[in-house]
Amino acid sequence: MSELPSTTLHSYAGTAVGDYVQILKPRVMSLVVFTGVVGLVVAPGHLNPVLAAVAILCIAVGAGASGAINMWYDRDIDRVMRRTAMRPLPAGRMLPGEALGFGVVLAVGAVAVMGVAVNLVAAELLALTIAFYVFVYTMWLKRRTPQNIVIGGAAGALPPIIGWAAVTGDVGWGAVALFAIIFFWTPPHFWALSLYRAGEYEAAGIPMLPVVAGPRETKRQMLIYTLVLWPATLAPWALGLAGPLYGACAGVLNGLFTAAAIRVWRDDGDRSARHMFAFSLLYLSLIFTLLLVDHLEVVAS
């Protein structure tokens, strides 16, 4: 049998590695890791830098494991939706068993290392996060209720609590405040996406809110959640976790986010929803960056 050219072998190897990276959902993982870092840094107390790095690595690997198992389970509906059709599983570049096995090994490893190297509370919270995302959101809620991303959003909101617990060994009110910010941010973020992807969700049989209740009700609820974010994002300042500069900047960002929701409410097309989805990512990143910078300035002074 003739050998394959070396360029072909290199291309295949690169593609295989890229596929394993893709099923970890690296873009989602990056935001999860960042919020986990903020939770760890702003928590009261001190954690050895090496153990802090291990804790963040475990959060990242746990998030990737959740993404891999999610892609394994959702491979049938991913095949139907245009934005997910080229993922490794629906595109046929990876076998389902490979993705499932990869995800399970990473999940068990991340929780075990967190428990042995950091503390059991952080490990239990990491295990809860993975289990909630896989069993509650992916396997139960996603295909059954338009409130899927509302309830399921708790999984994405837990990483800062894990980071906090890695330092303190418990869960304080500051950690709950960080959780609340992500929890109430998640619905307007995902519903903005689902407004202009409603046809794909409907074809895949996913009961996202625009599919079940229509665009008008979705836009109304998006606006409500942006208003709830005002007290949620100001809670760290009220609790003494952040200073007045954070509070002022958070107020400005909330005003912009609410204004974006109002534009979506008034717009019969998709343009405002697309803009709000993109801005929602920037909004959350800036909120947590402000918390991080505020804390570091206090420590430095």
Are 166 and 22 within one domain? yes
Are 165 and 21 within one domain? yes
Per DSSP, the three-state class of 183 is helix
Q: Looking at residue 44, which CATH number applies to its domain?
A: 1.10.357.140
Q: What is the DSSP string of 239-255?
A: TTSS-HHHHHHHHHHHH
Are 70 and 114 within one domain? yes
Tally of structural domains, the chain: 2
Nearest one of 80, 138, 221 to 210, comparing CA atoms: 221
Is the pLDDT reported for residue 16 higher than 90?
no
Cβ within 8 Å of residue 156, ≥6 positions away: 28, 32, 133, 182, 186
With beta carbons less than 8 A apart as the criterion, state whether 292 and 38 touch: yes
Are 62 and 161 within one domain? yes
With beta carbons less than 8 A apart as the criterion, state whether 226 and 157 touch: no
User: What value does the mean pLDDT of the chain take?
Assistant: 93
| pLDDT category of residue 1 using cuts at 50, 70 and 90 | very low
pLDDT recorded at residue 258: 98
| 188 assigned to some structural domain | yes
Block residue for tokens 């990242």:
60
| 289 assigned to some structural domain | yes
53-64 pLDDT, tens digit each? 999 999 999 999
| 5 assigned to some structural domain | no
Nearest one of 223, 225, 238 to 176, comparing CA atoms: 238
42-92 pLDDT, tens digit each? 999 999 999 999 999 999 999 999 999 999 999 999 999 998 999 999 999
Q: How far is CA 103 from the centre of its chain?
A: 17
Are 141 and 22 within one domain? yes
Domain assignment of residue 209, given as a range: 172-301
278-300 pLDDT, tens digit each? 999 999 999 999 999 998 876 66
What CA–CA distance (Å, rounded) separates 110 from 113?
5
Are 151 and 201 within one domain? no
Q: Which of 151, 170, 189 is the last residue of a domain?
A: 170
| pLDDT category of residue 15 using cuts at 50, 70 and 90 | very low
220-234 pLDDT, tens digit each? 999 999 999 999 999
What CA–CA distance (Å, rounded) separates 202 from 300?
52
Q: Which of 148, 170, 192 is the last residue of a domain?
A: 170
Are 252 and 291 within one domain? yes
Are 42 and 186 within one domain? no
What CA–CA distance (Å, rounded) separates 121 from 196?
40
Is the pLDDT reported for residue 12 higher than 50?
no
Q: Which of 136, 170, 204 is the last residue of a domain?
A: 170
